[in-house]
Structure 1
């Protein structure tokens, strides 16, 4: 929820990407209007209209693929996914059917066909509901092409600006140029929305969930504080000078995460595709704490061969010789349905057959992947660890560890994303070699809040005391068994929260490569004992805002660094 301080004109939202920036407000252009419900073919033949729909869909796909070719990392993944959706044969064929059977105009047919898909996904809820924004984005692009309108997207005024929008489509966020878009402010969205995640990956200060941002006038000069979640209208000269001085600072990471008294806290990178590995290594990452392997399996009708997987995995392992690389096995299901593995008709995919659960009915896919990981590990010198997603029970843990052992993978662990895993972390870690906490899903499941809903943004933060207690419980399970517990969710990229996590007993932190230097800089100013004390402060709070404010108040370095 956002508020506006009318005396100083300060809009309060949720800070999701640290940093300060000043610039004129530029709004996202008006959305593509819905074609009239009675929009008919007119003089155009059905055959021509059907051909135009196919051509428009192909043109949109081509432009998105071209943009993806020039992007890297998370941005590349988002653009490729949206391009695939633009070429979805079911969307195109449904629209073409509406032209032939109902005589609708091409634009109206596409709009209506997309509406059917959106309604289906929204009714399912959870992760599938997150995809509605993607479908609407593709719909708008295709309709714009059909009607001769400018394609929706981020404007280019030729000078740096603060982008203000209701929310941003994933494809829009993925094409942002940090040299032009100096900050982002949205009236909707939450801490783990696409906008938040990509803003952090690009290093752009961002505030989301700021409902009052809709009242900002175009070209108004604003100062965005992505750490505090504040947007100051018409800032003073001193405030501007301070922000510019902080923005001019360039921090680097020396490759050794530690507290001021020398307690080692390895800072690792999250990687979604092989092409992000070298950039992470260049940023100083001490290894990889989360290597997502879904890229190998998405948008396919059958699983990739073992040989293909080996080739892809080796690219990441090769970038980190002698260093730890934690490979997560396939996290299919929910927002990543696979026709050869998951049931797309599940009534609630977020609570359905996803992650490790997909191996219950299709064990060979997991067996082949473990074989591929083992072969890749044998061919490279990285210290290869492997973990399973969505583990909820001790039995699942034991079975997964046994499977890994059979393939010669000795360091097998689990992700803690389900509250039950945190609560029984003791017996789980008596079997597993390590645990890695996925704070995005753990927060969503613990707080029963869809992370994409702006109305629930206040709940969707890992500062929630309940979430912190689950993290603490997991660390106690690790301590009981002498097993390390890491964090690979977005919480690890928050410098203040990173201090708390270390104090709770977290051994390693894995994050977007851009966050490494900031987190390292803050950790180096506190002792391990201070981390433990601040963790106690956070646990004692009754609210997320209270926990965050109390910890930040005792870390003056955050203000000094503009974090």
Structure 2
């Protein structure tokens, strides 16, 4: 028996035989075309269009965060610059297959050299290129195996298109050698409720057919397990299944302290699942879905209908809507598509909206009109707020449109450190732990080479959360968490101990977080948080919190 370690997603446990992702298609040979440039160009256009539409269809079928990711991939596939590179090679006499292979490889190298968000998009190019090549060759694209029985999927990483539509009747668990807790794979696995461990480098040695136990709660993959270990794992899985079907209750600690559990949603249609899973409202509604697939901004009427549909699903409940968060990895031609050397530090979030204030005003108009037609408790917030002045600007503008509750996203260390002054003007703060970790650790949240730094358990990140929590407590202002950290059950307890008053997450994470909160009192949560804060790094902070949580009975 050997234990391989990685970062677990959720609390699930599963067991089964290993199946590995299929290998990539072999690279084509650089042989001259015998069909002529017009034919080769037409073949490429047809293949790229088919792949882009296929990605969009998968996104529409999957919904949620997966849809955003796959629509972005479709845009990359049809990038005009990339098409020009393909055409140049065809004009020089290459086949469509070689032109795609070579152009995508060149584009990939360019993006890797740029680094940052664009550097991480380089990995997406591999998946797109493989899909286009497969279409040109008339074969299936490499992807998830189908052995005809349930299995544990082991891969270096998964393309978003594969993760989005995993057959959960067959895929018992997912183990990747690469990636971190905020990678696309981790986010989509959490959203779909897949038992998963990411960043388990030693899993590269797992062989097809061998039986393993995947324990996300412990962050371990057990090879060659004993019969007793298999039985214990099966018993735990059955207990979790039973807990999932238990009556839904509002989020609360063991001492009765209410901690509302809210949902992160990407489009109005996601509300049905969130309500069914016991979401007490919406802590983050991403409005990007209305904008990302358009060449121009949606009209006020189009926006109003989408917002009205969302708000109508939550009568009397809190719904927090984030204003358009474009820029960085989500450039929009009508907002900000200018080249930036480091777009993560550029014109994004509220900065981009201020530069095109008409778009911000149209959003606020649509939200105010939808609010007047529905009975939800609408809160609005601005993304990427870094200064007190930006806070004053946005809250003043929101109130101009009659929106009664206006707050800010705390994603930048500057706004966390000045939280008392920010909250003097904002009605609430919502901490986006993904970006807060990125900017605190100077580690691009989408760049695999620095994934080890992108961990919200780091004590530096937790200290900033404590600053915001303390400021909220002093001023009587709510402080929510809407980043991926809230979906980690033990980290959720720590965040409450640091002063968070609500938690928002993918709906699939609600059951685990609800059950874990019920096992701890507020004093427990504060003590566990202090243990994590006293650590020197993310790994030891997580271990310290686990130890403190396990021994709570001796302190309560």
The residue number in structure 2 matching 1:198 is 188
Tell me how far 1:455 sits from its aligned partner: 4.2
**CA displacement at 1:556 relative to structure 2:** 4.0
Matched position secondary structure for 1:149: coil
1:244 has 2:234 as partner = yes
Report the aligned-residue RMSD: 1.7
- Residue 3 of structure 1 aligns with which residue? none
1:154 is matched with which residue?
144
TM-superposed CA distance for 1:75, in Å, is 3.1
Residue 23, structure 1, aligned to residue 16, structure 2: yes
Matching of residue 409 in structure 1 with residue 403 in structure 2: yes
Contact 1:110 1:143 in 2 (8 A): yes
Alpha-carbon offset, residue 247 of structure 1: 1.9
Give 1:104's aligned residue: 94
Q: Partners in 1 of 2:372 and 2:114 — Cα distance?
A: 42
The answer to whether 1:384 aligns with 2:374 is no
Whether 2:389 is the aligned partner of 1:395: answer yes
Q: Deviations over 1:372-403 (max 9, x none)?
A: 11111111100000000000000000000110
Deviation, 1:451, is 2.5
Q: Offset at 1:125?
A: 2.2
Q: Work out the CA distance in 2 between the residues paired with 1:337 and 1:69.
A: 21
Residues 66 and 410 of structure 1, relative CA distance in 2, 3 Å threshold: closer
Determine if contact 1:463/1:544 at 8 Å carries over to the other structure. Answer: yes
User: Structure 2 residue aligned with 1:279, among 270, 273, 277?
Assistant: 273
Matched, 1:461 2:461: no
TM-score, normalised by the number of residues in structure 1: 0.94
Q: Residue 258 of structure 1 contacts residue 265 of structure 1 at CA under 8 Å; is this kept in 2?
A: yes
SS of residue in 2 equivalent to 1:270? strand
TM-score, normalisation: structure 2: 0.95
User: Residue 267 of structure 1: CA displacement?
Assistant: 0.3
In the alignment, which residue of structure 1 is the partner of 2:315?
Answer: 321
Deviations 1:407-430 (A, max 9, x none): 001210000000111000010000
- The aligned counterpart of 1:124 is 114
Shifted more, 455-464 versus 358-367: the winner is 455-464
What residue number does 1:39 align with? 31
2:418 to 424, 430, 436: 424
Determine which of 61, 74, 78 is the counterpart of 2:65: 74
* Alignment partners' CA distance in 1, 2:408 and 2:398: 12
| Structure 1 match to 2:162 | 172
The aligned residue for residue 335 of structure 1 is 329
Q: Secondary structure at the match of 1:185?
A: strand
Q: Distance in 2 between matches of 1:427 and 1:546?
A: 32
Equivalent residue, structure 2, for 1:4: none
Counterpart for residue 351 of structure 2: 357
Q: Which residue number in structure 2 is paired with residue 561 of structure 1? A: none
- Asked whether the equivalents of residues 189 and 457 of structure 1 are also in contact (C-alpha less than 8 Å), the reply is yes
Counterpart secondary structure, 2:43: helix
Aligned with 1:86 (options 77, 80, 83): 77
2:340 to 337, 346, 353: 346
User: Following TM superposition, by how much is the alpha carbon of 1:62 offset from its aligned partner in structure 2, in angstroms?
Assistant: 3.7
The separation in 1 between residues aligned to 2:320 and 2:487, in whole angstroms, is 18
Task: Go from structure 1 to structure 2 and tell me whether the alpha carbon gap of 1:220 and 1:454 turns closer, same or farther (over 3 Å shift).
Answer: farther
Unaligned 5+ runs, structure 1: 1-7, 559-563
Cα separation, 1, equivalents of 2:170 and 2:545: 33
Q: Is contact 1:75-1:175 (8 Å) kept? A: no
Counterpart secondary structure, 2:18: strand
Farther-moved stretch of structure 1 (310-319 vs 78-87): 78-87
State how far apart, in whole Å, the 2-side matches of 1:451 and 1:473 are: 22
Is contact 1:191–1:451 with CA below 8 Å preserved after alignment?
A: no
**TM-superposition CA deviations, 1:464-520 (whole Å, max 9, x none):** 000000000111221222111010001101111111111111000000101111111
Structure 1: how far apart are the matches of 2:27 and 2:203?
Answer: 24
What is the rounded CA distance, in whole Å, between the counterparts of 1:117 and 1:141 in structure 2? 16
Q: CA 1:228/1:288 → structure 2, altered by over 3 Å: closer, same or farther? A: same
Identify the match of residue 61 of structure 1 among 14, 32, 52: 52
Determine the structure 1 residue equivalent to 2:134: 144
Aligned length: 548
Measure how far apart 1:93 and its partner are: 4.3
Q: Distance in 2 between matches of 1:405 and 1:70?
A: 37
Shift of 1:215: 1.0
Aligned pair in 2 of structure 1 residues 253, 57: CA closer, same or farther (>3 Å)? farther
2:434 maps to 1:444: no
- Separation in structure 1 between the aligned mates of residue 59 and residue 343 of structure 2, nearest angstrom: 28
